[in-house]
Each structure stands twice: as structure tokens, then as C-alpha cells.
Amino acid sequence: MLQRLSLSRAARLVGAARGTLQQKIQSGELRSFDGMVSVGDLMQLFPAAQLDRDIGFERVAKIRDEAFGKRLRERLLPSQEILSQRLFEQGRELGDLRAHLQRYHAMVVELRERLRDEEEHGADGARNSAAKLGELLDRALEAVLGETEAPNELAVMDDMLRVMSAHVVVRPSRHEFFVDGADTILDAALRSGLAVNYGCSNGNCGLCKARVVSGQVQKVRPHDYVLSEAEKQQGYTLLCSHTAVGDLVIEALESAEPADIPQQQIVARIKATQALGDDLMLLHLQTPRTNRLRFLAGQNLTLTAGEASAQLPIASCPCDDRNLQFHVVRDTEDSFAQRAFGSLKTGDAVTLFGPWGDFVLRADSPRSILFIACDTGFAPIKSLLEHAMALEVSERLYLYWLATPRSGHYLANLCRSWADALDNFSYVPIAAEHGDAHEVVRRIGADHADLNAFDIYLAGPEAFIGTATTMLLERGFPKTQLSAAIL
Ligand code: FES
């Protein structure tokens, strides 16, 4: 029976965020054994998981998809071939277990016969001991064989999870993710917020090459890039063309900082525009399927349409690298904004160049995160937040959004839906006549006694950032835990 689970797998099984489990480990509610948790402890802490199978990963994934405001992804089953291979693997594990049990059974039977033999033919002292040992063995066997313990529901669910999805561990980072449905390993890694190395996502460039340390992969998309014989023998594969047959350990390059992301130029098309207010527009661009944008959450892009161009923060998550969102403010001195509010329409081409900027997530920081946005500073903050949610590394996420009447909390429903769906996320909207940072910093100070336990990300107008930064540093907040983006 399964005894220990990785945190990612445990979170999926009980339908909780990974951060929630981390929080419970820190508070002592849940024991951790070298990063693993026991099924028994989980069942005690989440008894509902036994009663309601729907609480599992499907529910959380669905909630998260809806909360992200994305088109609800069709949750495809793995292909018939992958399913049958996973079932075959489980059958083989079961066969091994059965053979193991049979060997134990034969050993116990032989032991019982020898004890009986000793009872009948052994020396006087030995007969007595053999009889006692024989009785002990009979009682123990009776107890074990008479046990009618109900099957462990979490272990059953975990077996099902292993058929529906594969668990991948990346070396050397030890990041983890799951490959669901018909996803390639690359798509699944990006969806989980990992910045693995890749280029064309189409089997041509070889940049997504990674070494399979253990486990099996299967080609699900054709690729033109040819791996050398030596690479094949060392276990290299293309993440954009393969899926995981079962659980995998891979060695893959990951981008840790903006310098790792190459500059790109891509012609995207306007997929949709939506008014977010009288003077604010959501611009949704889509890149070609075979030329997606690699970027880190919180970065900017240069957008050019005809003669007009502007540098704007990306307001969406790199986990969906084809669909890019921007919040465009009406501004008579900004040629791109004028064009966006004037003549740009669905299907028009917009050239993207970049990405730029180092306002990115410290993805491996164990601290909880405070996001502070002023007006359209929400755009890069939204990108960071969605990325943090996909990564599930932070225990708690807080969003303080100060909005002036000019923009208002233009995506308040989205923020509220995050707060409803995720128990480790809190949303605090603050309305103000002017973008004055005093109110928001005072509020944060009142809500959190120890700000040093956080990483803080600030985005908004220059005056707001200046005041907020000064106030935080004056309160002794460490500069190294503070990141800011001026819009
Ligand atoms: S990303 Fe180019 S071959 Fe995979």
C-alpha cells in the first residue's frame, strides 16, 4: 500500500493548493518526511477526501481554469495507447507484488512446517520454544488474514491519478509537474509555470531537448529536428513532441532570470479587444501556433502596428504563451494607444519585440508574496499572480490594489473569483481619489505584523512607487525582497 506522497501529488489528491499543504507543514499540522507526506496523516487532515472523490485534482484544476478566466480547456483523456501502456505498467507492478507475496507465503508455510517438525522431533527444551513460536505465528496469521480494513481511498485515487496523468520531476531544480490528457511534456511544464528551455514548440529547433533519467516517453507530434545517435543513446528527447507514458525524471534547462530569455520578433494577430472602462481596453493578441512568445511573468513587450508603437507590460501568464493580454490606456500622446482605440480591429497584425524587463518572480523563494498594484500597475501584477498560482510554490498570496476613479478596479470580478477558488489567496481592493501610497502601506502594516516574512512586488505610477518604496524601507523592510515596476 502507498505510504508516502510528494507534496504535489498529495495536493492533487486532496484538492488543496500545494501552498496550503506547505502552510500546514510549517504550522506542525502535517508531518513532512524529506519533502514527502504520509497518506495516513493526509487522510486525518482531509477526511472529506475519503468521502467525496470529486474533491480531487479535477475539481481544483477546473476551478483554477475558470478562475484564470481562460477558455475552459477540454480535459482530454490520454490517448488509448498511453492509457493502455499505463495500465500495462500498473498490471506489471501488481504482478511483481503478487509474486513477492507468493514468495512470502511459501516462506511462512515452510517456517510453520519446520516449527511443527521441531515440536514433534526436537530436543525437550526446543520443543517447548517451537510450540510457543508456532502459536505466536498462528495468532499473527489469523489476525492478518482476518483483517477487513477498508481500502485506503487516497491510495485508490492515487492509482487512478497515475493512469490519468504522469508525474514529472525536473533535475537539477527538483521542480515537479503533471502531464495531463494529450499534453506534450513541454505544454504541461509551461502550464505549471515552469520556464523550461524551448524555441519553436514545433519540433524544428531542438531547443527543448532534455534527457530522460528514468521513465518512458512517447512521440505524439512529428518533428523535423533529428537527434544524433549519441543523444538518443543518452536518453535525450524533444519535450515539444513527446508525452510521458508514466512517471518521469528528466534533466532539463530552465530559465532562472531574464538574461536566459532570447529576444524575439513575432507577428501576432488581434484575437479580441474588450472595453474595461471608458479609457481602458483589454487587447488580446495571439501568436502563430508555431512561433509562440517565450517570456517571464511581469516582463514588457514592444508592440508595433504600422507607424505606432509602445512598450507595454504583458498582463497574462507565460503558462499560456500563445495568448497574450495587454491593458491599453487611452492617451492622446501615445500613438499606439490612439491606434488601438481608433482603427485596430480583430485580425489585424501587431509586431511584438522583446521581452524586456526584470520585474519577474523570485520563483524559488519560500516566502509568501504581497502584490501591490496602483491602477494599471495591475497588468504586470496579474501576470506575476497567475504565474505564482500556476507554480503553487508560495504559501500565501495577497493582492492589494489601489485604484483611482480613472481606472477603477477594472478586473475586480476576476480577483474575487481567484479569492473564491484558492484558499491561499486574499484580495484587498482599496479605492482612493489619488494614487497615494500612504493608505495602502498603512493598511498592509495593520494587516501583517511581520512584513519581513514576505516578498513584495509593487507596480504603478512613478510617484506611487517612490512613496511606497520609501515607506517600506523606512519600516525596515529588506530591499532585497522588494521588486518594483514603474508604469
Ligand atoms: S521547441 Fe523547437 S524542437 Fe522543441
pLDDT, tens digit (0-9, with 9 covering 90-100), for 181-212: 778 999 999 988 899 999 988 899 999 999 99
Ligand 1 pocket mutation, candidates 201, 220, 321, criterion most atoms within 8 A of CB: 201
200 lines ligand 1 (CB under 6 A): yes
Q: How many whole angstroms from its chain centre is CA 161?
A: 16
Structure confidence at residue 267 (pLDDT):
97
309 lines ligand 1 (CB under 6 A): no
Instruction: Kindly report the backbone phi and psi dihedral angles of residue 282, in degrees, each rounded to the nearest multiple of 5, phi listed first.
Output: -95, 120
Kindly tell me if the per-residue pLDDT of 76 is higher than 70: no
Element (H, E) at 484: strand 482-486
Kindly tell me if the per-residue pLDDT of 56 is higher than 50: no
207 lines ligand 1 (CB under 6 A): yes
Contact 369, 455 (CB under 8 A): yes
Across residues 231-249, what is the average pLDDT? 95
Ligand 1 pocket mutation, candidates 238, 261, 264, criterion most atoms within 8 A of CB: 238
Task: Kindly indicate the confidence band of residue 72, based on its pLDDT and cuts at 50, 70 and 90.
Answer: very low
Task: Kindly indicate the confidence band of residue 227, based on its pLDDT and cuts at 50, 70 and 90.
Answer: very high
407 lines ligand 1 (CB under 6 A): no
Kindly tell me if the per-residue pLDDT of 17 is higher than 80: no
Which sign does the torsion angle of CA 193, 198, 199, 204 carry? negative
Q: Report which protein residue has its CA nearest ligand 1's atom 1.
A: 201
262-321, pLDDT tens digit by residue? 999 999 999 999 999 999 999 999 999 888 999 999 999 999 999 999 999 999 999 888
Instruction: Give the global pTM.
Output: 0.78
Describe the strand order of the beta sheet including 308-313 as a list of residue ranges: 308-313, 300-305, 349-356, 264-277, 280-286, 323-329
199 lines ligand 1 (CB under 6 A): yes
Q: CA 35 to CA 15: how far, in whole Å?
A: 18
Q: CA 296 to CA 319: how far, in whole Å?
A: 9
